[in-house]
Amino acid sequence: MDIEGSDDEGESVYVKKQKIVHYGSLEEKERQRLATGISLSSVSNDVVKAGIEAGNINISSGDTMEMEEDKESQAEALAIFERRKRARQIQVSTDDTEVKAHLRLLGEAICLFGEGPAERRERLRQLLATLGTDIIQPKKQEEPVEIKPKDEDNITWYHEGSENLKKARYWIAEYSIPRAKERIGKQKEQKHVLTVTRLQDMHKRLRSVSNEYSQIGDNRPLSHCEFSPNSKMLAVASWSGLCKLWSVPDCQLIRTLRGHNCNVGAIVFHPQATVSLDDNACCMASCGHDGAVKLWNLVSDEPIADIEGHAPYRVAHLNYHPSGRFLGTCCFDHSWRLWDLEAQEEILHQEGHSKPVYDISFQNDGALAVTGGLDGFGRLWDLRSGRCIMFLEGHLKAVLSITFAPDGFHVASGSEDNTAKIWDVRQRKCVYTIPAHTNLISKVHFQPEHGNYLITSSYDGTSKIWANSTWASLKTLAGHEGKVMNVDVSPDLKFIASVSFDRTFKLWASELKGGL
- 303 pLDDT more than 50: yes
Residue 137, number of CB atoms within 10 A of its CB: 10
**Per-residue pLDDT tens for 363-396?**
999 999 999 999 999 999 999 999 999 999 999 9
- Say which residues have a Cβ less than 8 Å from residue 333's Cβ, sequence separation at least 6: 310, 313, 356
Label residue 12 by pLDDT band (50, 70, 90): low
For residues 389 and 380, the answer to whether their CB atoms sit within 8 Å is yes
Of 255, 341, 364, 353, the C-alpha closest to 293 is 341
- 67 pLDDT more than 60: no
- 214 pLDDT more than 60: yes
Q: What is the per-residue pLDDT for 387?
A: 92
Where do the H-state alpha helices sit in 132-256? 137-153, 163-190, 196-207
Q: What would the DSSP string read from start to end of 467-500?
A: ETTT--EEEEEE--SS-EEEEEE-TTSS-EEEEE
Q: What is the per-residue pLDDT for 84?
A: 80
Mean pLDDT of 397-417: 95
- 165 pLDDT more than 80: yes
Q: What is the per-residue pLDDT for 220?
A: 95
Q: One-letter amino acid identity for 214?
A: S
- 143 pLDDT more than 50: no
Mean pLDDT of 252-268: 95
Q: What is the per-residue pLDDT for 90?
A: 81
Q: What is the per-residue pLDDT for 43?
A: 62
- 506 pLDDT more than 70: yes
Q: What is the per-residue pLDDT for 197?
A: 84
Of 462, 443, 442, 464, the C-alpha closest to 453 is 464
For residues 284 and 291, the answer to whether their CB atoms sit within 8 Å is no
* Average pLDDT along the chain: 86
Q: What is the per-residue pLDDT for 110?
A: 87
Instruction: Return the CA Rg of the chain.
Output: 45
Mean pLDDT of 28-47: 67
Top mean-pLDDT range of 7-16, 195-204, 205-214: 205-214
- 4 pLDDT more than 60: no
Q: What is the per-residue pLDDT for 64?
A: 59
d(CA 84, CA 359): 59
Q: What is the per-residue pLDDT for 262?
A: 93
**Per-residue pLDDT tens for 306-354?**
999 998 999 999 999 999 999 999 999 999 999 999 989 999 999 989 9
Label residue 283 by pLDDT band (50, 70, 90): very high
d(CA 492, CA 274): 14
Question: Lowest mean pLDDT: which of 100-114, 138-152, 270-284, 412-426?
Answer: 138-152
- 142 pLDDT more than 60: no
